[in-house]
Amino acid sequence: MQGIDIDLSDPIWELAARFTINTVAMVLLIFGMYYRRYRDRELATTASMFNIFAFAVLTILSSVEFSIAAGFGLFAILALFSLRSEQIEKIEIAYFFGAIAVAVICSVLGTGLILVSTIVVFVLAAAWILDHPKMLQSANSTKLTLDSIDQHVLSDTDKMRAELSKRLGVEVMNFQIVELNYVNDLARINVYYRG
């Protein structure tokens, strides 16, 4: 019985190697970093599925003649998803884009596997370092829903910041108004604070 000869120049083995690199990188990025830190099952599942789907589509597109116009059309379709989706946080967008970037890096034919592996390792290391909890530990953020809209929420930001600091017992550095609902007398605010 002889062993299987693996020839990475064979398109099937190269595709398998690229898919393996992509999948390992995506699992490390989404489940090893994002999910462990934020525990958002929905985004982790969505980003990982999107990675696999993007890898499949881009692999097919990179192996056939594909016009720039068709590429712009593909990105226009992807842009429609953001118009139909609920608002997601900036960090979620970064990880989601990271999952797509890994799929693009791994699926484009014509690049060597060593280059692909090197770039993927660089992307993962950068994500791990930049989003490490100790990197920006002096600043935190939270979403807040107030059951009444303060009169000075828009007119006097310093007064609003002081009132939020007093209510929360932390130093509020900044806040962002996401929604003011005068019908239900609710205010949704993102608060950036120092604990």
pLDDT tens profile 95-136 = 888 888 898 888 877 788 898 899 999 999 988 888 877 765
The number of folded domains in the chain is 2
Judge if 62 and 156 occupy the same domain: no
Judge if 158 and 110 occupy the same domain: no
Band the pLDDT of 15: cuts 50, 70, 90.
Answer: confident
Judge if 94 and 158 occupy the same domain: no
3-class state of residue 149 by DSSP: coil
Judge if 159 and 79 occupy the same domain: no
In a domain, 4, yes or no: no
3-class state of residue 97 by DSSP: helix
Comparing C-alpha atoms, which of 29, 42, 51, 181 is closest to residue 107?
Answer: 51
Do residues 162 and 137 lie in contact, with contact meaning Cβ atoms separated by under 8 Å? no
Judge if 18 and 77 occupy the same domain: yes
Judge if 66 and 145 occupy the same domain: no
Listed residues 86, 110, 130: the one ending a domain:
130
In a domain, 5, yes or no: no
Judge if 97 and 178 occupy the same domain: no
In a domain, 49, yes or no: yes
Give the CA distances from residue 11 to residues 16, 53, 119, 122, in Å, rounded to whole numbers and listed in that order: 9, 19, 21, 25
Q: What's the rounded mean pLDDT across residues 64-92?
A: 63
In a domain, 52, yes or no: yes
The gap between the terminal CA atoms of the chain, to the nearest Å, is: 65
Q: If phi over 0 gives left and psi between -120 and 50 gives alpha, with beta otherwise, what is residue 110?
A: left
| pTM of structure | 0.62
Of the listed ranges 28-37, 53-62, 73-82, 154-163, the one predicted with least confidence: 73-82
Residue 105 belongs to domain spanning: 11-130
In a domain, 6, yes or no: no
Judge if 56 and 108 occupy the same domain: yes
C-alpha 82/C-alpha 136 separation (Å) is 28
